[in-house]
Structure 1
């Protein structure tokens, strides 16, 4: 988008030339032509963006506040960011989703409709034609006789070309084009979401398997402890209470498995739906994916200026503002007459003279259509259009600030989760050593069973927390890429 232009909402002044309904005959026509010529500069303000808009602030266009973290680098974000993971399966899933997703199909249809509206409005500045014909029967009863009458006919063609001196059609085309470009941006925003959610669903299925594997390892360890405890009880070195506590730990870990399987299944179904498939038609190889795609390097994030150019929702809000500004001109054009260059040709006369050269007629000249406006009503309409443009500007600023907030929040959350993940990895390593040491001491009678269970419980918690953090870390990466607005480019 670059540096967006400046806009000033302009309402015509009270001293601006306006129609005078008291002018009669040729004077009215002359006044209409004069006013039409006065409007030749196109009614209403030309689109531009105020310097005070949020997109022009240095704080919005500079480096991100969280961008200094070691987890990021300010190089440009690739258009197809998911390719950074180097995972061919992920590339294929996103490609299929962008081609077959049902929300995208609906967005494409909306865009085709918007383009058709532009074509319809643009057709208002082209030549229009009308063919007509009629007959009539005249019976002069005033003579007192019952005469058969005369059958007359009228055949002709009328052509009209709008001069659009007031710019109503031009502003209408500008508004329709702005709306269509906003719809295109909305379609691109759907592409961003589809790409991000496809990557997220794929990663969620893989991380569910990773968490499930971690829990299975814990469960295996706890079952081994239960087996040892039962043998020690049979040998007189353990108690029934020790066995019960060991079995409780096994049951608690087993209870976690169904919910983890359900999480994986939900991610697989969501992935299939995003790709335009029935839920049961999910990619079967993802069901056994052992770990999510990993990006073990700083994330490229660019800066605020690149974000503003890239985010489709910002672009869409800016285009909606342009359309709202054009509609001020449409309302202002109601102060002026509509002038067309017209011509007509045809044959008129009695049917008996059909085809005679004397019946041919030809006309050419300006056609002026002007409903003398209620100035109060028109100016109220102009004020409404101006207020709508002000609202669109406020929405544009809000969209820009919200995009920056989402990005900063996503960057901070990912950086902090990276720190947490590193700490959890150290904790898991320590807990694993402690559990191994407690197991050895317990087997040789150097510590009690409660100490062993405590160490194993600490290991269980550490491994579960690390697996959850690994899953969340990938999720936070996708949040960053989605907030940066990448993925809509074709």
Structure 2
């Protein structure tokens, strides 16, 4: 236990003072840091992308942090992304987790410095009466405080600071990763909404064509040229096509609801924002993707994994420090002032001490803890290397999906154009009696499918491009350099200030 007895300064010789101060300086100056020092582990990065020679890709230019603006040039999408960054609740929660990590770092830094353990004070005024005789009025004032300082002999406290700093950086990387994920989800959901709107329009265009087919079949039936079977077949096809519209409207509303969650607002609030034309966004002719080596600094999940690894690496040194004695210095400083009565005057007193504790009988447990921290570190090495490997696979998958979906779109455009022409030809030949109505039905069904497939393919190209940017880790740079409190909306900060004013200094 720490000594708390006060000694009058007159009893402390100058020799004792010099000896105590010499011991203090000796221990402060001789501190070291037990290792190992963290070094990022090697990872395998490919030299080039598989499809980097494709003329639609630019490997020399870095990814634009505002890629959704340059790729789609859509003011509505820009507004949706801005609202998501401001109001998304998952993103706000991640910023608050980063803020918590920042405060844990501040606490770890503060633990390196002297701590005032206790402040004691007394104010007393008294008068005694004995056998009818009143004594003098006596006043007593007493104040002292107890200060201790844990000496960082083996670098344990510095390691804890380094670990907390790495944890804080990992939490910021987690926020960045969620940020680009939210932006990508908003972009993909918005593209899907426009795609479904276009599919509804295509369905209605086919309904119009099929109604014309039904009208022609009814006219020929009334003229006695065909049986009622043709009209019944035309009605069946028309009704089935009409039934697809409510199904698509269900998907459309569900996509709107998903987008509302991403924007942190009720679904009905999107009605005015999403009154856009039913067209699928076009993609740029050339897309900048950079080189594979850029992933190490671009992908937030890679940075997060590496920072978690660094934080764990510092804990090995912390565990090793527990094998050695822990030193602390401390002291008491006090003052007593008594007026009246038998004792008059004041007295100053202080006490200084050096103490240590050593868990020498727990070496088995402490060594096991060192092994535990090292095994955890090695596991995180594998996790980090896996994240880097997976990141490269994600990009390759996204690139091939983007490029090949464009090639698919070209074939579907040819098929859709041929399908539209076959409908016109079948109507002409049916009216002329050259073909049966079954052939018309076949062309109508094929046209509906081909036009819908083309729209889906167009949407797939746009969403695949978003996936490319997501896999490359683009977008988090828009908030680079901001602290966690700066990432929170004003109303959240005001709520926190109403609970406690201690956030004021961070806001200065």
After TM superposition, the score normalised by the length of structure 1 is: 0.83
1: CA distance, partners of 2:188 / 2:227:
48
Name the CA distance, whole Å, in 2 between partners of 1:385 and 1:158.
Answer: 35
Q: Which residue of 2 aligns with 1:433?
A: 421
The one of 466, 473, 477 equivalent to 1:485 is 473
Larger CA deviation: 154-163 vs 272-281: 154-163
Report deviation, 1:83: 0.5
Within the candidate set 91, 94, 101, 1:114 is matched to 101
> What secondary structure sits across from 2:322 in the alignment?
helix
Q: Deviations over 1:188-228 (max 9, x none)?
A: 11101110111111111111111111111111111100001
Q: What corresponds to 2:255 in structure 1?
A: 267
1:73 equivalent in alignment to 2:58: yes
Moved more, 319-328 or 258-267: 258-267
Structure 1 residue 450, shift from structure 2 partner = 1.9
Tell me what 1:48 maps to.
39
- SS of the aligned residue for 2:147 comes to strand
Shift of the 348–43 alpha-carbon distance from structure 1 to 2, 3 Å rule, reads farther
Say if 2:285 is the partner of 1:294. no
Q: Name stretches of at least 5 consecutive residues in structure 2 with no aligned partner.
A: 1-19, 124-139, 480-508
Count of aligned residue pairs for this structure pair: 437
> Which one of the candidate residues 153, 166, 171 is aligned to 2:159?
171
Deviation, structure 1 residue 66:
3.1
Q: Give the superposed CA RMSD.
A: 2.7
What is the aligned partner in structure 2 of residue 416 from structure 1? 404
Tell me, yes or no, if structure 1 residue 200 matches structure 2 residue 188: yes
Query: Who is 1:127 aligned against?
Result: 114
* Structure 1 residues 107 and 173: CA distance shift in structure 2, 3 A: same
Are the aligned partners of 2:320 and 2:370 in contact in 1 as well (CA < 8 Å)? yes
Query: In structure 2, how many angstroms separate the alpha carbons of the residues matched to 1:271 and 1:284?
Result: 14
Give 1:37 shift.
8.2
SS at match of 2:312: helix
Query: Could you tell me how far apart the structure 1 residues matched to 2:106 and 2:333 are?
Result: 29
1:379 pairs with 363, 367, 379, which one?
A: 367
C-alpha spacing 1:58/1:270, structure 2 compared with 1 (3 Å): closer
After superposition, the Cα gap between the structure-2 partners of 1:134 and 1:382, relative to the gap in structure 1 and judged at 3 Å, is: farther
Match of 1:252 among 230, 240, 265: 240
1:82 aligns with 2:82: no
Structure 2 counterparts to residues 49-64 of structure 1, below 5 A:
49-50=40-41, 53-54=42-43, 57-59=44-46, 62-64=47-49
DSSP-derived class of the 2:152 partner: coil
Distance 1:368 1:445 in 2: 107
Please give the secondary structure, in 2, of the residue aligned with 1:291: coil
Does the alignment pair 1:397 with 2:385? yes
The aligned residue for residue 100 of structure 1 is 87
What's the offset of the Cα at 1:288? 4.3
Q: Distance in 2 between matches of 1:99 and 1:356?
A: 65
Residue 149 (structure 1) aligns with: none
Whether 1:317 aligns to 2:302 is no
Segments of structure 1 that go 5 or more residues without pairing to the other structure are: 1-28, 136-151
Q: Residue 344 of structure 1 corresponds to which residue in structure 2?
A: 332
Give the CA deviation at 1:319.
Answer: 0.4
Indicate the residue corresponding to 1:25 in structure 2. Answer: none
Q: Within the alignment, does 1:326 sit opposite 2:317 as a pair?
A: no
Task: Evaluate the alpha carbon distance shift between residue 38 and residue 229 of structure 1 in structure 2; reply closer, same or farther with a 3 A threshold.
Answer: same
Please give the per-residue CA displacement for 1:124-174, whole angstroms capped at 9, x wherever unaligned: 112212323699xxxxxxxxxxxxxxxx99853222333312111101111
SS at match of 2:51: coil
Question: How many Å apart are 1:293 and its aligned residue?
Answer: 2.5
